[in-house]
Structure formats: structure tokens, C-alpha cells
Structure 1
Amino acid sequence: MAAILAIDADALPVDPLWLVERLRDGHRRGIGEVERLLLEEPGTANGLLTWTAWQPGKALGAKLAAVFPGNEARGAGPTVRSVVVLFDGQDGRPLAVITGESFTRAKTAADSALGADLLARPDAATLAVLGAGAQAETQIRYLLAVRSSIRRVAIWNRTAEKARALAAALALPGIEIAAVAEAEAAVRAADIVSCVTASRDPVLRGAWLKPGAHVDLVGSFTPEMREADGEAMRRARLFVDTRRFAVGHCGEFTQAIAAGAIAAQDVVAELAELCTGTPGRRSAGEITLFKNAGGGHLDLMVARAVYDLAAGQA
């Protein structure tokens, strides 16, 4: 049996546009079978997510992700730590074990970037990012990759020092990057708003969104977590990476549906449908909202891309 590759994703340089295109191609080829299991530690926000996916005849795999939202505040390391196992789809051979925090960060950012590429205005010039945790830097880099028109990035975080540190670390030629004190002001000026928090209370208010804005919601993955209020959901045309996980498991949808602000049927399309021809944005003034809920199919697509890169097959 061929050796199983041990891949450290943190040591493997990945071009954002290349990975976004791998995701786009993966959605066009078909998702296959996907399952999700969440175990939660009672009395805490800690969880263990298990994502599994199978693209028949191509590949199958599983990702286990330990999510500890309090880690960064305690100086205990990143919020998410994961390991991915990739198997061959023809004979079930284990091909690779993939570790490294950058795997999930890149997968998450590429998912959002593909959504933004399909939905955000092509002339988007200003990006507002709410949240300055471990995911934020990768999120910014991937969104900038698909919208080279962006010239200003405003970063807000409940802990202002973290926003300032992130802004200082992101020195990008031709782009103004600044920490801001008020989320509202940043959102009101933004063409794209990306929320990357672990919040249980909305950090984004729909009343702040300007016509033509695109909203990227990343942080929530349980019914109790929520980054956007019901007004944001009501005002926007709604899109998701997968209906099953976004509508059924993420608080923006579960809570807004329970309150009568939206209905499950208001979701226009999921990412695979957008990638295969379903129209997205209809006008320059329309507000679009994309919920990045994740899914094992995304991890499988990225695992296959990372394996190909590490094996010299990309």
C-alpha cells in the first residue's frame, strides 16, 4: 500500500483564487453524500464537529474539528483545531492525514469568497469586517482576491486592541486598512460586510445596510449563535452554501424563522445551484446575504485540492 501523506496545511502555500476555483469546479461536479455530527460540552460553548462526505468514485473523507471559542481570550491558542482524513474513492485507500489550523481557515474563506464572487457587486470598493479573531485575516485576503476593486477595509472588534493589531498586520499595497470604533459606521459605508464572530447576539443590524451591499455571515453553527438580526435577514435576498446546514442549524435562520421575519422558502439558492447557473444578484441596488454554514463536502473538496498540491498533482 502506498504511504499515507502526512500534510501540514500551515506549511503549504495555497493561492486563494486557485482554491476558490477548485471549490467552484467541485460544486459543478456534484456534492455527493454529506453528514454532520455536533457534540457540545454541557455548560460551555465548546463543541466537537464531525463532518463526513463522500463523492462516489472520487473521494471520501472526514474532518473532526474541536471548537473552543474562549481559547483566544485566554491565550490558549486558536478557536478551531482540526484533523482531516482523506480516502480514495475507487478502493477506499487512506491517502492523507491533514492537520494545521490554516486548513479550516482556507476552506471557510474560500467558501465565502466563492459566494461573494457570485453575489457581490463587481465594483465593490469597501469591505467591513466584524470580528478580528483567527479567521478574520484569511477571510480578508480571500475576499480581496475575488474583488480586486476593494480599496478600503474597515475592521471592528469588541476588543478594539485586536482590531488594531489585525489592521497593523495587514499591510497590502494600494489598500487602506483601518480599525474602527463603531460597527455601525463601518457597515453603513460597506459594499461587502463579513461577520466572523462567535456571537450569540447580533453584531450586524439590518438597518445599517446600504442598497447594493453583500453580507457574508460566517460565525454561527448552532441555533443559539447569531451574527445578524431579523431585519438584516428580511431586507436581503438570501443565499446559503447548503440549505440543510444553514437553515436547520444556524441561529440567523432558526431564530428569524421562529420570529416570523423570514421563511425557510425565502432561501433563493445554495452554492451548488449558483455554480450551475441559478441567477444570483438581480440589480446593483439589491442586498444579498450569504450564510457560510460549512459542510463535509467543502472539507472534502479542499482536502482533495490540498492533497493534489502536496503530491505535485495540482
Structure 2
Amino acid sequence: MDNILQITDTFIEENTLFPELISELKQSFSNNEVLVPLRHHHDFPNPEVNSDSTLLLMPAWKPSDIAGVKIVTVSPENSRYHLPAIQGTYIYFDALKGTIKAIIEAKALTVKRTAAASALASSFLSREDSNALLMIGTGALSINLIKAHAAVRPIETVYIWGRQFKKAQAIASQLKNETFAVHPIPTLEEKISKVDIISSATLSKTPLVLGKYLKPGQHIDLVGAYKPDMREADDDTIKKASVFIDTYQGGLKESGDIFIPLQSGVLKEKDIKADLFELCSNQKSGRKNIEEITLFKSVGHSLEDLTAATYYYNKFKNE
């Protein structure tokens, strides 16, 4: 047990290069070396805050090589305790011997791999000349999504909106030294039609991305709304867009953005264009033309966690 590495959020924050992590994810999604069972998803009540929390167990194995499991809780009311909604840890194993190689703090690992997956999808789905981004949400993911998207597209202008304008202002301040300009905005409607990429990472149960405001050629990146009763985009958005998901395994049923339109008939499973496995292995293509509206829905996948854990483990070992 003495040889188990402890990899902190601080190390991850200081040693992430999004182009590298995106490249690692692309490689992982392009082959079938990792076995990924369906993640465990358990909701449990917390009467004190009148809200459910969620326990997620996300395992993955590369036989005779590496394995890992992420244990995460999602508590939507954590803002009242001045804590992030996501808490957890990642246990990284030697798959052959079953020994633990590292324990990795999961908060930073999760937001980094999630943002990298969105940027990977954007590299297939957004227009190559996309230079304006709207970020909806001011949680831990927002800064990472902005930076990740800027790693694959020539982003010059970023607008950020949150339910609390002060949080949007704070994020703009944190990003003041980046190569792009960041502007907090008080209302969404004014900018939805003015940008090339819309990225949303919220726990909203009512749609924030409304199809009536969309324009041809946009790319929509939906990262929040991780439960079937949560939703970030409305039916009109789904009708107007070519829909892509991270994986069929979880993407079809874990989030209301896809689950609700499937249940109502607004979207049919056969209409979903591709997942990341198909895009990265060139089995299917992404954006077809400059006028197409594309939509990517991410619910997260254990392959992303194992890939990110390996990336950070190797960086830590090679210090």
C-alpha cells in the first residue's frame, strides 16, 4: 500500500494541456481495447435540502493492463454549503495483479475529461472557423469547457451566462489573461443567435437553449442535465439539429435532453447520427455542411475517466 500514488486536484489543474488530453481521448474512442460496463446510477434522498443526490460508480478495464473505477456523488444543492455539486475519487488499478496504482481526486479529473470530450466532439461537429462561444452555466465545468473549445477552434469572443450574474463576472475575471475576450451577460436570448458554439453545463430541469433563437451553422454542446428529468435544450432545438451523443450506452436514457424527445417521438433513435466511437474511428462523419446545426449530448463515459487517469498517472510518474 505504501507505493500507491496520491494525485491531487492541484496537480491535475497545473498539468493539463487540453490538446494532449483531447488527443488521448480520440485515440481511446477510436479503438475497442477498453471494456466498459454500464455505470451504476443510484439516487438517494436528502430530506434536509429537499433534493436527491446521486451516487455514480463508473468502472472500466483494459484487460491485462489497467483498470479503474470512479466513485462520485452529485449533490445539486451543494451551493448552499459553498461546495461543488460533484465530489468523488478515482481508484486506478493494475488490471493484471489487481493492485492499486493510484488514488486520484475525481473533481478535477472529471471536469477536465468532460471538457475534453466536448472539444473532441466539436472538432468533428462545429465549423472550423467558429470564433464566438456562448457558455451557459457558471459551475466548475464552465472555465474548462471554454478553454477546451478554444483548444480546437479559433475562439476570439466568449459570452458567459449564469443564474447569478456575479458568478459570470467572476469567471470572466479569472479568464482575463486568455487570448480570447470574455463578457458576462445578464440574459441569454440576446446572444444565442450571435455565436458559433453554444456550450451548456447546468442542472436545469427546464430548457435554456431554445430552438427559435438558433441560426444555421451553429454547434450546440450539452453537458449538464445528467438525469432523465433534467433538460437544457427544447424540442425545437432537437428538431432543427443533427443529433450526436458521446455513447449509445448511456446517451439514450440518462439525460432528459435525449430521453424525453425519444419518449415523445420528437426524436427517433435511428435519427441519431453517431456517437464518439463512430466519429473517432471514421465509421461515420460529423458535420456535413456549413449550414447544418449540430448538437452533441454528453453524459460521460468510464472510458474517458480511465483515459484521463492514465494521462495524469503517466505525467505524475514522469515528473
Q: TM-score, structure 2 length as denominator?
A: 0.93
Which residue number corresponds to residue 5 of structure 2?
5
Alignment of 1:29-108 (within 5 A): 29-30=31-32, 31-42=34-45, 43-72=50-79, 74-108=80-114
Shift of 1:76: 2.7
Contact 1:223 1:249 in 2 (8 A): yes
Give the AA of the match of 2:44. E
Contact 1:194 1:218 in 2 (8 A): yes
Q: Does 1:155 align with 2:152?
A: no
Contact 1:35 1:53 in 2 (8 A): no
Deviations 1:75-129 (A, max 9, x none): 4311111100111233322211101521111011111111111211100010001
Which residue number corresponds to residue 206 of structure 2?
201
Q: Does 1:18 align with 2:20?
A: yes
Shift of 1:186: 1.5
**Aligned-partner SS, 1:98:** strand
Shift of 1:222: 1.0
Q: Does 1:182 align with 2:184?
A: no
Give the AA of the match of 2:59. T
2:122 to 105, 108, 116: 116
Shift of 1:37: 1.0
**Aligned-partner SS, 1:248:** coil
User: Which whole-Å CA distance do the structure 2 matches of 1:146 and 1:96 have between them?
Assistant: 30
**Aligned-partner SS, 2:262:** helix
User: Which whole-Å CA distance do the structure 1 matches of 2:142 and 2:19 have between them?
Assistant: 17
Contact 1:237 1:289 in 2 (8 A): yes
User: Which whole-Å CA distance do the structure 2 matches of 1:163 and 1:144 have between them?
Assistant: 18
Which residue number corresponds to residue 270 of structure 1?
275
Give the AA of the match of 2:75. F
User: Which whole-Å CA distance do the structure 1 matches of 2:118 and 2:24 have between them?
Assistant: 14
User: Which whole-Å CA distance do the structure 2 matches of 1:16 and 1:102 have between them?
Assistant: 13
Give the AA of the match of 2:261. A
The worse-fitting range, judged by mean Cα deviation, of 89-98 and 241-250 is: 89-98
Contact 1:217 1:227 in 2 (8 A): yes
Deviations 1:275-313 (A, max 9, x none): 011210000110111111101111111111111111118
Which residue number corresponds to residue 253 of structure 1?
258
**Aligned-partner SS, 2:250:** helix
Give the AA of the match of 1:120. S
Q: Does 1:172 align with 2:174?
A: no
Contact 2:198 2:219 in 1 (8 A): yes
Which residue number corresponds to residue 304 of structure 1?
310
Alignment of 1:207-246 (within 5 A): 207-246=212-251
User: Which whole-Å CA distance do the structure 2 matches of 1:76 and 1:182 have between them?
Assistant: 24
Q: TM-score, structure 1 length as denominator?
A: 0.95
Contact 1:67 1:80 in 2 (8 A): yes
User: Which whole-Å CA distance do the structure 2 matches of 1:58 and 1:241 have between them?
Assistant: 24
User: Which whole-Å CA distance do the structure 2 matches of 1:55 and 1:230 have between them?
Assistant: 38
**Aligned-partner SS, 1:140:** helix
Shift of 1:252: 0.7
User: Which whole-Å CA distance do the structure 1 matches of 2:118 and 2:301 have between them?
Assistant: 13
RMSD: 1.5
The 1:249/1:58 distance shift into structure 2, 3 A limit, reads: same
Give the AA of the match of 1:46. S
Structure 2 unaligned blocks of 5 or more: none
Contact 1:201 1:227 in 2 (8 A): yes
User: Which whole-Å CA distance do the structure 2 matches of 1:270 and 1:240 have between them?
Assistant: 5
Q: Does 1:290 align with 2:296?
A: yes
